[in-house]
Amino acid sequence: MLKRRSFFIIALSSIFSGCALVSNIDNTSPTSSISKTPIVVSDGVASFELDNGLKVIVKQDHRAPVVVHQVWYKVGSNYEHNGITGVSHMLEHMMFKGTKSVKVGDFSKKVSKMGGQENAFTSSDYTAYYQVVGKQHLESVMQLEADRMRNLLLDEEQFQKERDVVTEERRLRTDDNPSSKLYEQFNAIAFLNSPQRIPVIGWMQDIRNWQLQDLQSWYEQWYAPNNATLVVVGDVDPVKVKEYAEKYYGIHKKSNIMPPKPQLEIPQIGKRAITIKGATKLPSVIMGFQVPSLVTASNEDGRKEAYALDVLGDILDGDDSARLTKFLVRGSKKLASVEAYYRATSRLKTSFSFSMTPSAGVTPEQAQQQVWQEIKKLQTQKVTKKELNRVLAQAEAAYVYRQDSVNGQAMVLGSLASVGLPISTLDNWIDNIRKVTPEEIQAVAKKYFTQDTLTLGILLPNGEKVKKLRGASSHGGLR
């Protein structure tokens, strides 16, 4: 369930005149293949796979004549390496720059004329594109999205312009934002050899040195039907969705996808810390601890730990009645704000982190001690059944509310499939967190929250005037 912290958001090409790059490999067949794979329905979700490897998930919701159409690619910043960091996000920008049959900017115009909404986003684990339209327009958006899966035109002039856009986006989001800069550098020391350390937008030095061929190679390497998941949720018929999917996506040939070599984070054997200065009124502090996720858990005990960590996160920071806000903001008033963050569905080993802003007159060291006091309580005192039941009731309510949004339902299904978790994880979520015991919560707090496994980031005011932050570009969302 997407909460503030957790579960519930190559062949080289020929160069033609005009500096456009077009793939010189045949990616389509004259006619679409008719998949003989049956539609499997489980817990109200239909799924099937085309002969070219495209996985399709369909969930019917007939409350309104609306449909959400999403394509998720299994590629994001943690697939990247030094020198090309941010290339997944940049390619997402370029996906709106036209194909052999759709001119630059026409994709968005066509969806707008349908009365629909569309956008895209890149994360560490995946890149996704989506449209929300009336159900009568499903075939049209499916044709548009399938077209740019393999027929994107990458033009040098458009590339140069969009690279400038991303450069400015990074400057606005990170370089001119001390809090974002703190998180980025904190993450870079929290993970020394795992690609989790790579910022989704990329390092500025890499952005400035991208070449058009970098994007072309990345596109041909990862944008293929057998590296994608199509998610359709709304007022639809799975049989009709399959017909359209075979007609438009089925024409693309599968690619030889070579997954990245494992880059497992080395064990942390002592505290890591970084202190930076920036134009801010108050200090900021981040405390983080490496923890497993549902994906990285190697056995049932590991999966139990992931669910226990998620519940622990709700106990600390589920709402305004949770411990951190109750005791540290409203209670002692030592902290102006504090949050806990954990994402149980991360594809790689992740972190459980605490972000805080000390109140005026409170030092970063004193702020840390406040959080350590709450951690010690979890380690020495079992959570009461009353508090645990309150947290579980909130989680169940959040699960129910999530069903109100067809886009929200699609987001959860797409994210699960993209990191390799079964889509049944969604329907089994409440059952699994209800199995979490006070003893398991205490055990993970003791095991993972220690001084020797702490990563600490501190932002101090540098005395400069605080800059007013501006907005960023429309396309190219980061998650």
Residues designated as active site: 92
d(CA 121, CA 239): 28
Q: Which helix (H) or strand (E) holds 15?
A: strand 14-15
CB atoms within 10 A of CB 448: 17
CB atoms near residue 81 (< 10 Å): 13
Angle between helices 87-94 and 156-170 (to 10 degrees): 120
Angle at 69 between CA 431 and CA 141, to 5 degrees: 175
Do 453 and 272 form a contact (C-beta atoms < 8 A)? no
In 3D space, the residue among 339, 421, 410 whose CA is nearest the CA of residue 125 turns out to be 421
CB burial string 411-434: b at 16+ within 10 A, e below: bbbbbbbbbebebebbeebbebbe
Q: Bridge partners of 460?
A: 277
Going by C-alpha positions, the residue among 74, 114, 66, 47 that lies closest to residue 408 is 66
**CA–CA distance, 163 with 209 (Å, rounded to integer):** 10
- Token output for 178: 């001390």
CB 409 within 8 A of CB 1: no
Q: Of how many residues is the chain composed?
A: 479
Which run of H or E residues covers position 130? strand 127-134
Residue 120 and residue 476 in contact, taking contact as beta carbons nearer than 8 Å:
yes
Q: Are strands 477-478 and 117-122 parallel, antiparallel or unpaired?
A: parallel
Q: Give 243: exposed, middle or buried? Use CB within 10 Å, 0-12, 13-18, 19+.
A: middle
